[in-house]
Amino acid sequence: MFQEKISEFVQKYRNSYISYWKDFHRHPEPSHKEIRTSGKVAEILEGLGIEVKKQVGGTGVIGLLKGDSNGPTVALRADMDALQIKEETGCEFASVNDGVMHACGHDSHTAMLLGAAHVLSELKGHVKGNIKFIFQPAEEDSPVGGAPGMIKDGALENPKVEAIFGIHMWPTLETGVMGIKEGVMSAASDRLNMSVRGKSTHAATPEFGIDAIVITSQVISALQTVISRNVSPLDSAVITFGKIEGGSRYNIVADQVDLDGTVRTFDPNTRKLVAEKISQIAKGTASSMGGDCIVDYKWGYPPTMNDHQATKIAKEAIVKTVGKNGLYEISMPNPGGEDFAFFSEKVPAAFAWLGCRPKGIPPEEFPKLHNNKFLPDEEALPIGVTYLCQVALTALEALSK
């Protein structure tokens, strides 16, 4: 019964959410500056008679739809921020804010969640419990993100959220396909700054100094053993230094080398272990050579973890939305970070990928996320709205048993 009602209302409100999407796309705002966007979101939710909380964790907005009968609370989350990229899509609703662009599809995430709010408001009489709509700022602001601020401001309390669901436009998947897996969906993404310290002296008399460049070369090699000797061959991790800077002149022994890098892991225990080992090995190696190493490990986004039961619910909703053939079982998690992860640390969560590559275009020819030509297929939006409604109602049903 729900299935038919949902498709009817997804069709009925199509013009509304498609126009929200184009409007948000035309007026992108970077992380923490989602003022116009969050204002529109609050206005639309209020127009639907939904209880609204503004300025949650900065520019975040929360809508609470109370069903006609009591029951658990489930949350649906969308992100609202754009990127500092100059748009080259050439579309008719291209960005009017020079150098800012919705290149990660967050405009469509926001529009689809508003679409779901329209549809679910119509179905209020059948909603057994509450549905919280979480519109978060600053997903792109790694390593801090926008989710922690909203959680701190009580986004998951009053009423207490028992499960949370989110989707992301996924350009490698064709429209009509949705991807998900249980367990880790995206990597933990941390930042690593190190400074190796020595003592300068004349290049011809190294015995009077401590060469920070020679120490650094040993430290870098030694750190690769963290991956090969400390991380299980069945797990994986990456340590990459993308920038290294040191020394002052060709004939002076360098007294300082600064390194800037990133660490990616998929398992929370591996993440802790890698951070500890990096510090131990870098400091130990430097001190064994008479120098020192200052390690600044900045914890970024944790891995997004899809909970067992929440994933089961999400898969059921995917099948109801796109059929069995549309369900893509992901084998490898995404090595990129996603700050939905912070929600997944607090409550059972499931994050899914929404195919948005128009049929007939090969994956290698379709622009990827963060590309200045990325624009999702419009046909993916009604599918996303349908899924969000399905997953909320399926979850309320499952959790009240």
Mutual orientation of helices 14-26 and 2-12 as an angle, nearest 10°?
50
The residue (of 118 and 168) whose beta carbon lies closer to Zn ion is 168
Stretch that binds Zn ion, among 53-61, 97-105, 177-185, 390-398 (CB under 5 A): 97-105
Q: Which residue is nearest to Zn ion (CB)?
A: 104
Applying CB under 5 A, the site for Zn ion has a residue count of 1
Please state the closest distance from residue 337 (CB atom) to Zn ion, in A.
9
Please give the distance of CA 244 from its chain centroid, rounded to a whole number: 28
Residue pair 396/128 in contact by the 8 Å Cβ criterion: yes
**Cα within 13 Å of Cα(324), Cβ side:** 0
Positions of E strands within 109-224:
128-136, 161-174, 178-180, 183-186, 188-197
Stretch that binds Zn ion, among 46-54, 101-109, 120-128, 258-266 (CB under 5 A): 101-109
The residue (of 78 and 237) whose beta carbon lies closer to Zn ion is 78
DSSP sequence for 358-372:
PTTS-GGGSPPTT-T
Stretch that binds Zn ion, among 52-60, 96-104, 149-157, 296-304 (CB under 5 A): 96-104
Q: Is 187 in the site for Zn ion (CB under 5 A)?
A: no
Q: Is 112 in the site for Zn ion (CB under 5 A)?
A: no
Please state the closest distance from residue 168 (CB atom) to Zn ion, in A.
6
DSSP sequence for 322-353:
H-GGGEEE--S-BSS--TTHHHHHHS-EEEEE
The residue (of 104 and 187) whose beta carbon lies closer to Zn ion is 104
Length of the chain: 401
Please give the distance of CA 331 from its chain centroid, rounded to a whole number: 18
The residue (of 104 and 356) whose beta carbon lies closer to Zn ion is 104
Select from 62, 80, 104, 391 the one that contacts Zn ion (CB under 5 A): 104
Please state the closest distance from residue 333 (CB atom) to Zn ion, in A.
15
Q: Which residues in the 315-354 window bind Zn ion by CB under 5 A?
A: none
Where along the sequence are the contacts to Zn ion (CB under 5 A)? 104
